[in-house]
Structure 1
């Protein structure tokens, strides 16, 4: 088994693609990028230099993944999603001189296993999107998203929890959360970092 690259796609020779990965028309994959097995890179999508992408990741049409982003296994990136990499974007320096690649420090977005980024959402680096989290279409993420969180809006805020199947979890009388698709149970608990953040963990049943 090998990868498939459409004729109009641009894949740098130093990029590495895993078996079963498909790169569709007009997509661009820059130097030293790494993509795992079974990935799909949609039409017009962009993968920056040195970006790391795991197995079974889907980048929909015109998604822009700028370096040094990391996408773990099973991540979904919807159409026209943008993962930024510059906290203080300027075309020129204070003297009006054009900035070059070495004139700024790139910062990345880390998208953990199974997370989904809805169409036209924007992740403003540096942020981490937690495991199996879901970012709604059009949301703008400016701070870290907990595992299993459902976030919406500008700026994005948590409005609920989702399970591995993607369905919104429902609360139970005993204080746990349940996936209506799979029946999996989850427990809400305070974060370990002494912040006011609440996290969700999977419960063994």
Structure 2
């Protein structure tokens, strides 16, 4: 690991990557493998696993027992709740080792939240500021600001940038107002 980078690694944590941003904290039993890219000011909690070839943006919260595998790209300011699991192979077999282009990539865009124990099946994009409720199974793309629950995950509303589910008038508790345009949510001031 590059010793010029100011990264905190708990004595029982492992950080084998040379590409971890300043201010990031890696807690006990977490493991960041060589070849993983982790941004600035991230919090990688106990027993989290970030595989080589995974990309984690800046200011990301990776709670306990999160598993991020090769081919997964996490945007800035994303919250990954306890036990979130990403997959990267739709047809896994123990005897077949797939890497790189043989895997299906997954992208979580800026500001999204994935609640506890969310499972993300590979090959999807979770849009900016989307909110995926605890225990959901994501099997298809999720629109920006979508509020998604269930197995399989289904949209039941919209989420404000502040994280709250939007009421019918599309004005969040924080005062942000939105409008639906062509089935997509956008800021009313845009």
* Class of the TM-score when normalised by the shorter of the 2 chains: over 0.9
> CA separation of 1:62/1:52 partners in 2, compared to 1, >3 Å: closer, same or farther?
same
Q: What is aligned with 2:165?
A: 168
> CA separation of 1:36/1:102 partners in 2, compared to 1, >3 Å: closer, same or farther?
closer
> Matched residues in 1 for 2:160 and 2:189: separation?
14
Number of residue pairs matched by the alignment: 186
- 1:5 counterpart = 2:9: yes
Q: What's the CA shift for 1:102?
A: 5.2
- 1:18 counterpart = 2:21: yes
Contact 1:48 1:68 in 2 (8 A): no
Q: What is aligned with 2:74?
A: 71
- In structure 2, stretches of 5+ residues that fail to align are none
TM-score by length of 1: 0.86
Contact 1:140 1:156 in 2 (8 A): yes
Contact 2:31 2:48 in 1 (8 A): yes
SS in structure 2 of the partner of residue 159 of structure 1: strand
Residue number among 39, 52, 60 corresponding to 2:42 in the alignment: 39
Q: What is aligned with 1:178?
A: 171
SS in structure 2 of the partner of residue 17 of structure 1: coil
- In structure 1, stretches of 5+ residues that fail to align are 92-97, 191-197
SS in structure 2 of the partner of residue 70 of structure 1: strand
Q: What is aligned with 2:155?
A: 158
Aligned CA RMSD, in angstroms, stands at: 1.7
- 1:203 counterpart = 2:188: yes
> Matched residues in 1 for 2:99 and 2:73: separation?
21
> Matched residues in 2 for 1:4 and 1:103: separation?
29
> Matched residues in 2 for 1:103 and 1:3: separation?
27
Q: What is aligned with 1:95?
A: none
Contact 2:14 2:30 in 1 (8 A): yes
> Highest CA radius of gyration, 1 or 2?
1
- 1:55 counterpart = 2:37: no
> CA separation of 1:160/1:122 partners in 2, compared to 1, >3 Å: closer, same or farther?
same
Q: Which aligned runs of 4 or more in structure 1 are off by greater than 6 angstroms?
A: none
Q: What's the CA shift for 1:104?
A: 8.2
Q: What's the CA shift for 1:143?
A: 0.3
> CA separation of 1:25/1:61 partners in 2, compared to 1, >3 Å: closer, same or farther?
same
Q: What is aligned with 1:110?
A: 107
